[in-house]
Structure 1
Amino acid sequence: MAEAVVEDQDPFRCCICLEPLRDPVTIPCGHNYCMDCISGCWDQESQKGELFSCPLCRETFSPRPVLKKNTMLAELVSQMRKSSRSPIASPPSPLALYAEPEDVECDFCSEKKLKAVKSCLVCLLSLCQTHVEPHYNVPALKSHKLVQASRHLQQKICSQHDRLIEVFCRTDQKCICMLCIMDEHKGHETVSAAAERKDKETDLGKTRTKFLQRIKKREKERQTIQEAVASYQRSAQEAEHHSEKIFKEFLQTVERRRSEVKELIRAQQKAAVKDAEDVLEKLEQELAELRRGHAEWEKLSLEEDHVHFLQSFQVLRSSELKPSPSFSLSPHKSFNDLNKSLSALKSEVDDLCKKNMINISGQVASVEIIVPQEPKTREDKLREKYRH
């Protein structure tokens, strides 16, 4: 019985899935199978024991043979696929055909959706390997235009004329079909979608460059501010230690003044660092938005679908780079002036301390890391112009 099956067996077709071989392997008895099919079959046998058999001739093997792709047989099957008038049958394992979330689903499959391999611009359907067969064999369907399976199928069709969108109207800045040229877009400047994309890619490159330049600028500013904060904190600590040393030499009458100066330094340090950290947080948010925007433009640059490229370009173009605040940075600010004032107080009495406290407080407040400068609006510029 097995011999009869062997004689009727197509050497280029797997006897397990009954489909043309995919990733063919030859097992020790000489029979050929799809790698996924025979692996799955032997995976089930491994649960029963240590013997593995050929589904055709029932010859057994132990241990489990190591499967290697038969490259010569794979080449023969590939040549058969190319020489066939229609694509050779679907891949062997149905599990490999099921549509994943990132795949385009077949519109014809009624139950478990299979992965679509082609989309028909006439039928407006996406079809799996099985359901696309009539488009290769039925004369009435052979004239239909098939493209790679696309999620954007409806966007390729003109909603007014139900024709393929393949023209770009530069006058109205929108994608249209050939009939639109003779209708509402008559007399407008029109080009093919491919030609318009070529022009738009130039703008896209310039926009990507702007994003990269802004990112580099902001990264440099972030690094500079971080270095300034570190220097500022070191200077604040040195000032605090210096004030401690000076005030410890004071008499009991200046003890209260010592505490006031210490608190002034710490309060100013905390406020200034907090302001800098707030700016850094804004910079991080802006950098994230810039990178996200750049990624969207980068992704668009790789889009192969002209129509979807142009439609997406219009959407992204509407979100141009907005002006952002710049900052005035004082990276070398320190408490040296304060330290000198405190040293002068060493030989002074309590009355002199009272007179200098106003001066000390002002010096502490002036030691800032950065001063945010919001971008000026058109109204601000006009106001400044007439003020002068």
Structure 2
Amino acid sequence: MSAASCLLSEDQFLCCICLEVFTDPVSTPCGHNFCKNCITQHWNSSPLCECPVCKRKYYTRPELHVNTFISEMAAQFQLSAQQEASSSSTRRSEQQSAKPGEVLCDVCTGTKLKALKSCLVCLTSYCETHLQPHQTVSGLKRHQLIDPVKSLERRICSKHDKPLEMFCKTDQMCVCVVCSVSDHKRHDVVPLKEEYKVKKAGLVKKQAELQGMILKRLEKIQEVKRSVQLSKEEADRELEGGVQFFVDLMESIERGLDELTEAVKEKQRTAEKQAADVIKELEQEIFELTKRSSEMEQLSSSEDHLQFIHNFSSVKAVPPTKDWTNTSIHPPSYEGMVVRAVSQVEKKLNDQMKSLFEDELKRVQWYRCYAVLDPDTVHPRPPQYKGNDCRCVLSNLGYSSGRFYFEVTVDKWSTWTLGVTRKDNVKGQVQLSSSNGFWTLCLCSDGYVVSTEPAVHLSLRSKPVKVGVYVHYDEGLVCFYDVSTAALIYSFSDCSFTEKLYLFFSPWGHTQPTPQSGPPLTNPLRNDP
């Protein structure tokens, strides 16, 4: 069977429909062979069964018979073809030349093949064919083989022509056995393999450290992503609240405008109706008077003396009319309507803003911190003390990141200064200004002033009893709140903080109690009385 198949060509085993070697070959009554699936699909797609080769027509689908002989021959041919293809592939692989960058066989002549191993004794790299003696000859089996490498001469001692098999820890270099007992005799020399294990262990440890650093950075990435997500959620909430606030505000304004428009129009409609009623009544009287005037004119032109005298009494009387002397139509007064409408909108706006400020204050109060004024930072009293000299004190703790919030009771002082500053700012005389590192709110003889440049004077509706100080270090934001009314007093924005910030307080007045006798800070761990 095998010999016979070798004499046959591939064309004799091809299906004329799929042009591939037969799969499950069957024969038609006319003697032609096809793949069973091919002829079945061919006939299923045609209304009439017809042989694709001889065109013989079958009006009833004929029975297909499996061609055992053709099936066996086709299977044998496929097996032979596969074996031939595999053998050819193996031969091509064995004869494949090395790719650029790969180590070449030093023994090959002509086309250099890829080296499989390098011998440290022979200082030669071998392909699979030329490596066979090292795998079969007993003397060559003892040679040290390694994965193929270039520049084998670098592994040989240039002085003694011996393999570099030792490592000098003193000089941190590879040496040969002869070097270890001569030039490096008094040095700490160990076998190269031993040093390899030590350095490999160190490398593994260093790699573990790198993996730990990578892990920390991956965790930091997750932390940053979580921070971004929290920031987005906070931004969405803030935007949602802001949009709702302005929607309510616009609805209030539109509602106030509609009410004002309706009130003005109602007044105008009332005035127009009153005027229309008067005009209608006047027109009715004019009609009656005109009618009587017409009767008088008609009677006066009469030449019948008897008729004239007879009708005179009824015609001469004037029809009953109203005295219009004191009757007048005054235009309606619209004064104050717009003001009242705006006042109502303002009241609604104030209510909404109060609610907004209260919510804002509650949010920043989440960052309330416990702080105590540090007696060691009290500004010393000058030798020539004057009543208007400013003495100040800082909190005992400083902050260099994040957010923090303090509340300070200020109603016991007639003048005071409150805010945040750097620690080194209280060591001498310095002007309180944001450019000098003071972000403060002050109550002085001129009223309320903030330490901007130039200073800004504020007009507050009420005198604060307790002032809240909120700082967002990373955003460069300092805000002052009237805690009692939840109103925002002032905000410093876009500040540049580079050092720790401390709570700053000055009572401004030597007759008032000093912070040492009673710090004006609210303790966040208890409620103020």
The structure number with the bigger radius of gyration is 2
TM-score range with shorter-chain normalisation? 0.3 to 0.5
TM-score normalised per structure 2: 0.32
Which protein is richer in strand relative to its size? 2
Which protein is richer in helix relative to its size? 1
Higher RCO, 1 vs 2 (CA within 8 Å, ≥6 residues apart): 1
